[in-house]
Structure 1
């Protein structure tokens, strides 16, 4: 299962069932979980922690030092959860003293040429399409989908179950449960199809739609909109998650759409 044409440092910790294909390099301070497949021409550097049942395709580099001029050689990690697929030429840099790690969750798909910079936190079941570029300190919630060739500004937060159009420039925080598109990036409706696929009830989806109509289409400032939402909508996980996310947004959130565009979730999915 371990090709003689691969270089595996004798101190690397590989669980049973790991496959390593030819011309791959694995450094000393590396951990790889059981039944993970490491393809040919992969570079896994010090600080990489890769879970079980993962697939890492050719050209990927996991655990390289951060592209951050403040990095001073501190010992940090790049952590990959279980059952995550890392396609060709993906790069995941390890963390800095800020968080000490970069983390990608379980059951994620990072398509070809994705870059995950230092100190990012990517949740579980996320999909980042081809050539998505994620700058440092970004947080992406569970089940979020980021369309191909999008660029995410440093320190941005993307909420759980959000879906972002391909080619987007993500400069502001994107709340959970929404679709976002256009330039500049703006609200494009609730991610109702995605929520149905993940088992959300119609009552919860209707509540999410109503919540974001108030926030983005109600003509109120953010503070007043959140106050109205809390007064008019019953407490729920979805309501409290969305309100808490918006209140905590340090970069501000994306804006509502320009007038004349359908944005209440009723447009064609």
Structure 2
């Protein structure tokens, strides 16, 4: 005979109607197992977990045996097992249940490994957005040389942190280690040497040789983010006007910052851009 507790569980219910005293309603099972009514209806429709009883009004009622099956379904589902695999585990007496669970455990382990790698990648992306360079001060000095100022990445973030270009730069930075940055630094250094040599050789702004150097600058700079011609003009102004940039280029060759701006402006004019009105776009 059922006691008062049983009556509370198996008596009047909610959801698909009141129980008749012989089973749990859909609403009661949903509350007890933390499963949505929609899921219970779906499992019934596909024959995975059908209630054994119906009320006179046709409402579903789940018996204790039904509830035990549902418990097992919930446990297997929480491990990520697909419903068709759960059906096999529950209904196929010849099924290798331990083998199926081991295989699924292997899949879960692999998924965890992938998620951990994804998490580590997200951490690097966050750091790159906040710091710019994911290198120590010592690594920066070794890679970029004695004229490099380790405060420059923070200054760049302060100035450009809310721009699309900083986002692009951070995405590239997140995927680079010291070796990749060394390759970037070597490309930049090679370009600057070529720039100084061209100025020494008397290459004139607007000449094919000068225009090739302007194109090479855009290619090298793309290691940070894509550079439009208008943006390149703005950089040329900054290289000449701002003391830190001017000192860097003039350290390669005296007067190089101003000469570089002249060849960039000449190339821009050849492409229909007025250097005096060019904007960062």
How does the TM-score come out when normalised to structure 1? Answer: 0.24
Query: Which structure's residues are more often strand, by fraction?
Result: 1
State the TM-score, normalized to the length of structure 2.
0.24
Q: Whose Rg is larger?
A: 2
Of structures 1 and 2, the one scoring higher in RCO (CA 8 A, sep 6+) is 2
